[in-house]
Amino acid sequence: MQPEDHRQANRHEGSVSRRTVLGAGAAAAAGLLLTAGASPGESRGNGLGSLNRMWDAIVIGAGAAGLGAARKLSDAGKQVLVIEARDRIGGRMWTDRTSLSIPHERGGELVHGHNVSTWDLIRQQNLKTHRWEDKFAKINTGDSVWNSAKDFDTFHFPQGAPSFPGEIPRPMVGESAETWLARIGIPRSNYPIYFWVIEGDSEQFDVLPATRVAGELEFVLEMQQYSGEMPPEEYGDYRVIGGYDQVLRPLVRGVEIRHSSVVHTIEYRKNRVDVHTNNGSFKSRVVVMAVPGGVLKSGAIKFDPPLPDARRTAIDEISYLPVFKGILEFAEPVVPADPTLPRRWDVAALFSENPPTLWDASLGTPGYKGQLIVTWMTGGKAQELLDLTVAERHQAGLETVRKFAGDPGLKHVGATTYDWSKDRFALGAYPGPFSRRSGLSDPVGGVLFWAGMTTSTIHSSRDSGTKAATLALDALR
């Protein structure tokens, strides 16, 4: 599927926030340009001879989950074939190296955390990263002061903290977060920035169930006792300089991959699975399904015999979150209008705008004189942007950048975006707060294993593939 592209010549269960203030999203699980010495469409290994061979394991899907599984199986000495519908690996981790002046991420962009499994891939290749440090936000464009993510003001209520002499009134069944907060005396005008961050990284509070925010309110109330600059955070978000796709090179090394092979039917029985594609049929002892939940939900892949009713029900209850990510290129870095902000910044959010969140997607790129700015939103507000034409989406993002820069005449020199919900091999960016995540990963028939259906980060996708491969290895023994 071709990307939409527009170039201008001129802490606890139920928590929905991202573990870091103003992390502002980009957890989209996964996409990437093929690396590691193989061109798109090329297979490694035995070529056409693979059609008649019995593999130990077949992995369906060459995203982070599938490649994580393939690496684990291959390292255990198993004969592994990866079948991928696209002409590239990576799935929703996709480094675009052609549309703008430097590589940029159409899908997953950030390493979320300093000790997640992605780091072993980064370190063994000595890849460079840039950590988000300078993050700022305003609730309203006209507010006089930018709030720093390093300051406890992020948790403070602009009109004063509410008081609950007894327990916080609990949400009623079916009550939205916005309705519940208003009922207990917290209108939108008194939301702390922390709440606006949740809306920008998940779903808006008029839709999000109150039960998903109750724990966040308790946390915010605990933070009222603190003021000033927060201690340095251990958690951090990092960009891989030169393209996120580089982290997948060690995973694909020595693994045979069949590109442009769309699976339509899977026949399974004890000790054997037959995988039928548009490019022939393949057989193996076990299969790891590393296909996005949206694709499984669509019924594009048929199972014979049909999957158990409980599994089918679980798949049908997968729900994906609307995500808008537009990328604007500027000939030179955009300088904030507020002189108190650093000239080079990482994240800025104007929550009265749509899209509200901006981040620098080029900082740290050697020799690059311009700037790539990602414009970002999730949930219903993201869907409003996705319903626009591509040019209108970029214009909306440009208006937010103009207000940040205080320059109504600011122009960009290139732009790109992608709607993952329209991608037939994804059918969604990443699972949202309403997506079912239980009952999806247990093996079926002792031969079908599952990975990556509802993960929302690169490392969790890869980890799910490793876990599925471990179960498959037990079955092979």
Q: Contact at 8 Å (CB) between 97 and 206?
A: no
Q: Do 333 and 346 belong together in one domain?
A: yes
Does residue 62 lie within any of the structural domains? yes
The encoded tokens of residue 59 equal 């992995």
Q: Do 223 and 271 belong together in one domain?
A: no
The beta strands (E) that lie in 115-178 are given as 129-131, 135-138, 147-148
Q: Do 325 and 423 belong together in one domain?
A: yes
Q: Do 254 and 301 belong together in one domain?
A: yes
Q: What is the model's pTM? A: 0.90
Q: Do 148 and 211 belong together in one domain?
A: yes
Q: Contact at 8 Å (CB) between 468 and 450?
A: yes
Q: Contact at 8 Å (CB) between 312 and 471?
A: no
Cα dist. 166→78, 170, 175, 214 in Å?
60, 11, 21, 15
Task: Give the confidence band of 25 by pLDDT, cuts at 50, 70, 90.
Answer: very low
* % of the chain beyond a pLDDT of 90: 85
CATH of the domain at 152: 3.90.660.10
Does residue 2 lie within any of the structural domains? yes
Q: Contact at 8 Å (CB) between 141 and 350?
A: yes
Q: Do 57 and 177 belong together in one domain?
A: no
Does residue 139 lie within any of the structural domains? yes
Q: Contact at 8 Å (CB) between 414 and 8?
A: yes
Q: Do 163 and 276 belong together in one domain?
A: no
Give, in degrees to the nearest 5, the angle at Cα 208 between 179 and 385.
110
Does residue 100 lie within any of the structural domains? no
Cα dist. 450→287, 298, 445, 453 in Å?
9, 17, 12, 8
The answer for residues whose C-beta is within 8 angstroms of residue 457's C-beta and 6 or more apart is 27, 29, 108, 112, 116
Q: Contact at 8 Å (CB) between 58 and 34?
A: no
pLDDT mean over 408-415: 98
CATH of the domain at 293: 3.50.50.60
Lowest mean pLDDT among 39-43, 119-123, 126-130, 279-283: 39-43
Task: Give the confidence band of 50 by pLDDT, cuts at 50, 70, 90.
Answer: low
Does residue 67 lie within any of the structural domains? yes
Task: Give the confidence band of 2 by pLDDT, cuts at 50, 70, 90.
Answer: very low
Does residue 259 lie within any of the structural domains? yes
pLDDT mean over 461-468: 98
Give, in degrees to the nearest 5, the angle at Cα 428 between 67 and 25.
85
pLDDT of residue 234: 81
Does residue 198 lie within any of the structural domains? yes
Q: Do 157 and 219 belong together in one domain?
A: yes
Q: Do 76 and 62 belong together in one domain?
A: yes
Q: Do 217 and 236 belong together in one domain?
A: yes
For residue range 345-363, list pLDDT tens digits in order: 999 999 999 999 999 999 9
Q: Do 343 and 453 belong together in one domain?
A: no
| Total structural domains within the chain | 2
Segments forming the whole domain that contains residue 282: 47-92+245-318+436-476
For residue range 70-95, list pLDDT tens digits in order: 999 999 999 999 999 999 999 999 99
Other CB atoms within a 10 A radius of the CB of residue 218 amount to 11
Q: Do 420 and 368 belong together in one domain?
A: yes
Does residue 38 lie within any of the structural domains? no
